[in-house]
Amino acid sequence: MLAYYFHNLSPYIVRLPNGAGLHWYGLAYVLSFLLGGWLYRWLAEHKYTDLPAAQVSDFICWAAVFGVMIGGRLGWILFYGLWQPHGGDPWYWPIEVWKGGMASHGGIIGLVLFTLYWSKKHHVSWTGIGDSLVVVAPVGLCLVRMANFINGELIGKPAQVPWAVQFPKELIEYGSPELWQRAQQALGMTDVPPDANFGSYIADAIPDHPEWIDPLRQVLTPRHPSQIYEALLEGVVLFTILWLLRTRCRVPRGVITGAFFICYAVLRIIGEMFREPDPAWQVKGISAGQFLSIFLVFIGAAFIAWGCRTKEYERALQAE
């Protein structure tokens, strides 16, 4: 048990005395937009998209706001938030993002709709700008998954592999009265009621109380670091596939977008095999993420069929 890594990373890069601060999760999004914009500009300069290089900064900025942030939040509300208890707080869903999260499926849908709007407004190919956008998207997926690991959230299923990790947030997301009681006894706490608030208190305070680590090692379950698995699958592997398709293969517009949907869906389904399903809901034994990914396969197939039918190419790929 003592050989397993105990997760005690702080979600803060810098934390102020009043509890506010700069989070790794926020930095992951900022870096995603910066790196994604830089890569997209490179593709634009080499004629892999109809979007002029001078418009890339504006495009990425508005895509980040309306596609990723708003789409991701609305997706989380629709797919997960509606099933979460919120005590009748009317601001919980639209405003209090620190109590909820972002859904990658919602962000994908948001980007699809935003790129459609942008293409109509600026008279550029929808699939053309989309093909290059999906190439850089895995950079953000990778960074956000790594931030999920730093936060110790979206934890994996129980495992006995040498690289298994013990996550204190197990006390929050998958805690039970029995687990809370065992944690209390291990820490020698008798005046704190064993409930979800106790789990939140312990998980949040771990970075400031290293003396709690050894007692909790005997209580917490070793688990797959599924966030890292998904960062590698949805980030590194997916980016490599799409970058090679974009820069090394001559494919019609829409095919790379379709490949993104299908590959992302398959890789997400594989990654979720090692991740604890969201406690909100499951569909016939599969997680919400796996269920939603099934629909992406059909969307991807439609994009590929459309691209093969129209046979339109970017300027860098047009036959001489």
Lowest mean pLDDT among 148-157, 205-214, 221-230, 261-270: 205-214
pLDDT confidence of residue 282: 64
Task: Band the pLDDT of 301: cuts 50, 70, 90.
Answer: very high
> Is 250 annotated to bind ligand?
no
Provide φ and ψ at 80, rounded to 5°.
-130, -45
> How much is the mean pLDDT over the chain?
85
Lowest mean pLDDT among 23-27, 136-140, 260-264, 278-282: 278-282
Structure pTM? 0.87
Tell me how far CA of residue 229 lies from CA of 5, 20, 155, 169, 267, in angstroms.
16, 30, 11, 18, 10
Average pLDDT over residues 69-90: 64
Domain coordinates of the chain in residue numbers? 11-158+226-251+311-317, 168-219
pLDDT confidence of residue 320: 42
With a CB cutoff of 8 Å and minimum separation 6, the contacts of 196 are: 172, 175, 180
Q: Are strands 165-166 and 5-6 parallel, antiparallel or unpaired?
A: parallel
Q: Looking at the DSSP assignment, which residues form a beta bridge with residue 283?
A: 286
Lowest mean pLDDT among 89-93, 220-224, 300-304: 89-93
- DSSP of 154-195, one letter per residue? S-B-B--STT-EE-TTHHHHS--HHHHHHHHHHHT--SS-SS
With a CB cutoff of 8 Å and minimum separation 6, the contacts of 207 are: 8, 9, 10
Chain centroid to Cα 155, Å, comes to 13
pLDDT at 274 over 80: yes
Helix extents (H) in the chain: 24-45, 56-62, 71-79, 104-122, 126-151, 170-173, 177-187, 196-205, 213-217, 226-230, 238-248, 255-272, 288-310
Provide φ and ψ at 125, rounded to 5°.
-65, 125
pLDDT at 207 over 60: yes
pLDDT at 318 over 80: no
Which amino acid is present at 140? G
pLDDT at 175 over 60: yes
Lowest mean pLDDT among 33-47, 149-163, 183-197, 242-256: 183-197
Task: Band the pLDDT of 202: cuts 50, 70, 90.
Answer: confident
Of residues 47 and 87, more confidence is placed in 47
Average pLDDT over residues 123-144: 93
With a CB cutoff of 8 Å and minimum separation 6, the contacts of 147 are: 23, 24, 25, 27, 28
